[in-house]
């Protein structure tokens, strides 16, 4: 499986068939040692323990299915043959899990074993009675229903797929499309995780090189703050697909080469051209597959990464304009570091690549979202819901400020030890780089935050004590619990790659005439940007004390000189803004280039030309590994398939998801708010003040929506009914950019 025995893997020829040099082998050995030193591999004892737990779990579901078969009066033959089977998927199945990681598992049962009554009923009861099972938490209403628990200390996420078969054979092959026949939507979603994982392993040339490279990229993404599907970045399945494609393009490369080529290829990638491991098959079951020429909503995906198992779909529909820009910036940084390593530059090694992103030094302004609940179970559910809505806040801020105010969501949550039932989320805020700042310019996002809080308040399972507050905080007013060990650094980080590059840029801008102009970012929309440049805008910030006097507006202005410093000046701790200035030029050109790439005509519902990812697109092999020009040309040809990008994001699409959810939940909300003591907390912004900083505490890992599924969770593989994409400015609408950072619910 996955061997390259003369068989081409992927939709194109490889870019290069070259193998490693001695230097490549040396860098690979150093990389593998680094990954071991940072404890990315589990011990042999833990591996054996996991195997034992999986074997025990398989026995339990077999006992369970016989028990319910007997209770339902099945005949002796069916009772004797009754069976259920456990499959694994995600990082464990791919072989890239680390110590303490969850095991994503799937229970496949027969047609008479129902999800609601039998899986979440009888099986749940059986697990409850077992002393080795702890922290059992069923989430039956999730998009992908799951039971989460610990079995002998090993964390398990257990999904259920109900097939149309009376008997589940022990040698069941779930990779066959026929397994989806007559399956309900929840079963299709649950099966998709296993099917995609297995297909990835079939489509990579050398599995061990793939695994090492994927471990590296997952660790890199977490260190750089871009590993989170729910926050609008990429999750486990997305990184696996991106790495697998690089393995196909460089089948004989070793991990150090694959990491370098990863950054080289995706720095040049012209999104929204899709990344595919194989041709998209229509299938025979009538399930909808990703195709922007036929499905209007697919046209608005910014970073399509397509799953290889039927039904093929976009696994990265959560990516927004801001998060794509941030990731492109990180790809560029990785590319520069790998180039420096290949040139054997001093003080550049794998440590440099994996330097953590100093999120709380990168910006001067942040948005802080605090939530709380009355008990741990309520907080877990409340967190899952709020996290699933945070992306909407990012999109709304971008849309309402015409992309002039850019958001960088932190992928994790933070906890204050002194308040165990509280947690906080943060977003970095900055003015779009390269845009002239007018005198007294401001952004007013109070209505934006009000809309967000109203949407969050529509949670149908909301209970008393579930609260949310939003406030603007400056860097100097950040609470101590966001810093490692709860201790605020006495001075900004120095000596890192980011700080050195920022210093070089500052020196260059002062020594080279016109260098500062060269840093200005190309505008995304000339008409709108011209309009915004000429607009008279106003901006306000909360005062440093964080307090507002009664009867006065919730705004505290700062001088034009300080706001110019705040949004335009770059110091050694603000490389992120500087790099993203360059990356957004490339990103804008990429989107425009994709839009004008290849037009596909349609007649009577039939699409002319080859299917996206059609194997007929050949002739891309350049076997000279020394020719970067040839590689660049090959990458361009890879992206020349029949894809029509539509980047004119209508305002209505951004509102559709909110409107649908609000309508579906309005009835329940209307009844619940009458007796809900929290009804006023989401609306009355004028009466609310800035949150004060809190000391102490430590960071905690973020949960996924719907109860926090695993890293290759099926929810990542299922696009919502309508994807919410940041809209392009509407020309008819006069831009109102009074910018005030709102504050809600003073913390106590």
Among residues 145, 79, 146, 154, the alpha carbon closest in space to that of 112 is found at 79
Residues 536 and 7: their CA atoms lie apart, in Å, by 62
Which of 133-142, 319-328, 514-523 has the highest average model confidence (pLDDT)?
319-328
State the sign of the Cα–Cα–Cα–Cα dihedral 192, 194, 196, 202: negative
- pLDDT for residue 674 is more than 70: no
Q: Which of 114-128, 279-293, 389-403, 681-695 has the lowest mean pLDDT?
A: 681-695
Question: Which residues, including other chains, have CB under 8 Å from residue 237's CB and lie 6 or more apart?
Answer: 193, 196, 229, 307, 315, 711, 712, 713, 716, 717
Of 568 and 181, the structure prediction assigns the larger pLDDT to 181
- pLDDT for residue 636 is more than 90: no
Among residues 160, 162, 191, the alpha carbon closest in space to that of 176 is found at 191
- Provide the pLDDT for residue 732: 40
Residue 472, Cβ density class (10 Å: 0-12 exposed, 13-18 middle, ≥19 buried) = buried
**Residue pLDDT, tens place only, 474-510:** 999 999 999 988 888 877 766 677 777 766 666 665 5
CATH code for the part of the protein at 359-435+443-484: 3.30.70.590
Among residues 230, 153, 158, 242, the alpha carbon closest in space to that of 203 is found at 242
User: Model pTM?
Assistant: 0.74
* Structural contact between residues 127 and 107, judged by C-beta atoms closer than 8 angstroms: no
Same fold, 31-38+204-354 and 359-435+443-484: no
Q: Are strands 154-162 and 606-607 parallel, antiparallel or unpaired?
A: unpaired
Task: Considering the domain delimited by 44-196, tell me its CATH architecture.
Answer: 2-Layer Sandwich (3.30)
The DSSP code sequence of 535-586 is: S--EEE---TT----TTS-S-----HHHHHHHHH---TT-HHHHHHHHHHHH
Q: Which of 142-156, 316-330, 331-345, 570-584 has the lowest mean pLDDT?
A: 570-584
Among residues 405, 391, 390, the alpha carbon closest in space to that of 445 is found at 405
Q: What is residue 284's three-state secondary structure?
A: coil
**Residue pLDDT, tens place only, 198-245:** 999 999 999 999 999 999 999 999 999 999 998 999 999 999 999 999
Q: What is residue 384's three-state secondary structure?
A: helix
Looking at the chain, the whole-number percentage of residues with pLDDT higher than 90 is: 51
Q: Which residues make beta-bridge pairs with 607?
A: 602
Q: Which fold has domain 31-38+204-354?
A: Poly(a)-polymerase, middle domain (1.10.1410)
Of 669 and 451, the structure prediction assigns the larger pLDDT to 451
Token pair listed for 573 = 């701790």
Q: Which residues make beta-bridge pairs with 139?
A: 146
For 607, other C-beta atoms within 10 Å of its C-beta total 15
Q: What is residue 368's three-state secondary structure?
A: strand
What integer best gives the mean pLDDT of the chain? 75
Among residues 177, 350, 174, 329, the alpha carbon closest in space to that of 267 is found at 329
- Provide the pLDDT for residue 6: 53
**Residue pLDDT, tens place only, 35-81:** 999 999 999 999 999 999 999 999 999 999 999 999 999 888 888 99
Q: Which residues make beta-bridge pairs with 473?
A: 366
Residues 114 and 72: their CA atoms lie apart, in Å, by 12
Q: Which of 47-51, 487-491, 667-671, 701-705 has the lowest mean pLDDT?
A: 701-705
Residues 419 and 181: their CA atoms lie apart, in Å, by 50
**Residue pLDDT, tens place only, 454-469:** 999 999 889 999 999 9
Residues 389 and 109: their CA atoms lie apart, in Å, by 33
- pLDDT for residue 105 is more than 90: yes
Question: Which residues, including other chains, have CB under 8 Å from residue 351's CB and lie 6 or more apart?
Answer: 34
**Residue pLDDT, tens place only, 356-369:** 999 999 999 999 99
* Structural contact between residues 309 and 279, judged by C-beta atoms closer than 8 angstroms: no
- Provide the pLDDT for residue 98: 93
Residue 696: HSE in the Cβ half-sphere, 13 Å Cα cutoff: 6
Residues 748 and 692: their CA atoms lie apart, in Å, by 8
Q: What is residue 375's three-state secondary structure?
A: coil
Q: At what angle do helices 236-249 and 207-223 cross, to 10 degrees?
A: 130
* Structural contact between residues 247 and 213, judged by C-beta atoms closer than 8 angstroms: yes
Among residues 353, 325, 324, 354, the alpha carbon closest in space to that of 339 is found at 353
- Provide the pLDDT for residue 460: 86
Token pair listed for 201 = 């392993």
The structural domains of the chain, with segments of one domain joined by +, span 31-38+204-354, 44-196, 359-435+443-484
Residue at token pair 């229509």: 282
């Amino acid at each position: 499986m996955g061997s390259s025995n003369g068989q081409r893997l992927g939709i194109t020829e490889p870019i290069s068939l070259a193998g490693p040099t001695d230097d490549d082998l040396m860098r690979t050995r150093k990389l593998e040692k680094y990954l071991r030193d940072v404890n990315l591999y589990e011990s042999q004892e833990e591996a054996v323990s996991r195997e034992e737990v999986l074997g025990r779990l398989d026995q339990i579901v077999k006992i369970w299915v016989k028990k319910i078969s007997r209770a339902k009066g099945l005949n002796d033959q069916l009772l004797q043959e009754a069976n259920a089977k456990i499959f694994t998927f995600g990082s464990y199945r791919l072989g890239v899990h680390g110590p303490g990681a969850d095991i994503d598992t799937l229970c496949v049962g027969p047609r008479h074993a129902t999800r609601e009554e039998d899986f979440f009923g009888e099986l749940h009861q059986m697990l409850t009675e077992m002393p080795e099972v702890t922290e059992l938490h069923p989430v039956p209403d999730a998009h992908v229903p799951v039971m989460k628990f610990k079995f002998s200390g090993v964390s398990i996420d257990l999904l259920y797929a109900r097939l149309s078969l009376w008997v589940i054979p022990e040698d069941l092959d779930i990779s066959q499309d026929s397994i989806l026949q007559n399956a309900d939507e929840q079963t299709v979603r649950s099966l998709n995780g296993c099917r995609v994982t297995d297909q990835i392993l079939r489509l990579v040339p050398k599995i061990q090189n793939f695994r090492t490279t994927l471990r590296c990229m997952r660790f890199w993404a977490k260190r750089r703050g871009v590993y989170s599907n729910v926050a609008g970045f990429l999750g486990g399945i997305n990184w696996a697909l991106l790495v697998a494609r690089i393995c196909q393009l460089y089948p004989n490369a070793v991990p150090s080469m694959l990491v370098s080529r990863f950054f080289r290829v995706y720095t040049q990638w012209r999104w929204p051209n899709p990344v595919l491991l194989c041709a998209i098959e229509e299938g025979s079951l009538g399930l909808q597959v990703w195709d922007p020429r036929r499905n209007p909503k697919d046209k608005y995906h910014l970073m399509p990464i397509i799953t290889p198992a039927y039904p093929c779909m976009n696994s990265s529909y959560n990516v927004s304009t801001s998060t794509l820009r941030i990731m492109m910036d990180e790809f560029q940084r990785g590319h520069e570091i790998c180039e420096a390593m290949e040139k054997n530059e001093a003080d550049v090694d794998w440590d440099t690549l994996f330097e953590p992103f100093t999120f709380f030094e990168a910006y001067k302004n942040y948005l802080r979202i605090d939530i709380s609940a009355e008990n741990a179970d309520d907080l877990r559910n409340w967190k899952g819901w709020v996290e699933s809505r945070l992306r909407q806040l990012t999109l709304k801020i971008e849309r309402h400020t015409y992309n002039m105010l850019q958001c960088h969501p932190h992928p994790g949550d933070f906890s204050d030890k002194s308040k165990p039932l509280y947690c906080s989320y943060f977003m970095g805020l900055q003015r779009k780089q390269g845009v002239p700042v007018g005198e007294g310019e401001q952004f007013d996002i109070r209505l934006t935050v009000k809309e967000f809080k109203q949407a969050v308040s529509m949670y149908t399972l909301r209970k008393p004590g579930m609260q949310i507050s939003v406030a603007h905080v400056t860097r100097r007013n950040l609470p101590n619990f966001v810093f490692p060990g709860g201790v605020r650094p006495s001075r900004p980080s120095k000596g890192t790659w980011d700080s050195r590059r920022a210093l070089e840029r500052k020196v260059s801008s002062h020594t080279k005439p016109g260098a500062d102009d060269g840093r200005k970012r190309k505008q995304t929309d000339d008409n709108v940007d011209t309009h915004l440049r000429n607009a008279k805008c106003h901006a306000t910030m909360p005062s440093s004390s964080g307090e507002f006097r009664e009867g006065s507006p919730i705004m505290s202005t700062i001088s034009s000189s300080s706001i110019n410093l705040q949004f335009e000046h770059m110091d050694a701790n603000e490389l992120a803004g500087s790099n993203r200035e360059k990356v957004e030029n490339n990103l804008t050109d990429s989107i425009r280039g994709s839009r004008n790439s290849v037009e596909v005509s349609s007649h009577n519902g039939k699409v002319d030309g080859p299917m996206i990812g059609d194997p007929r697109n050949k002739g891309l092999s350049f076997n000279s590994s020394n020719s970067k020009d040839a590689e660049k040309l090959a990458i361009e040809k890879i992206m020349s398939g029949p894809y029509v990008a539509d980047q004119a994001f209508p305002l209505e699409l951004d509102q559709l998801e909110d409107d649908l959810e609000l309508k579906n939940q309005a009835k329940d909300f209307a009844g619940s708010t009458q007796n809900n003591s929290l009804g006023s907390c989401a609306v009355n912004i004028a009466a609310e003040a800035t949150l004060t900083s809190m000391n102490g505490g430590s960071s905690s890992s973020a949960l996924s929506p719907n109860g926090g599924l695993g890293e290759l969770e099926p929810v990542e593989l299922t696009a919502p009914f309508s994807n919410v994409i940041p809209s392009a400015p509407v020309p008819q609408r006069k831009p109102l950019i009074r910018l005030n950072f709102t504050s809600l619910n003073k913390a106590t």
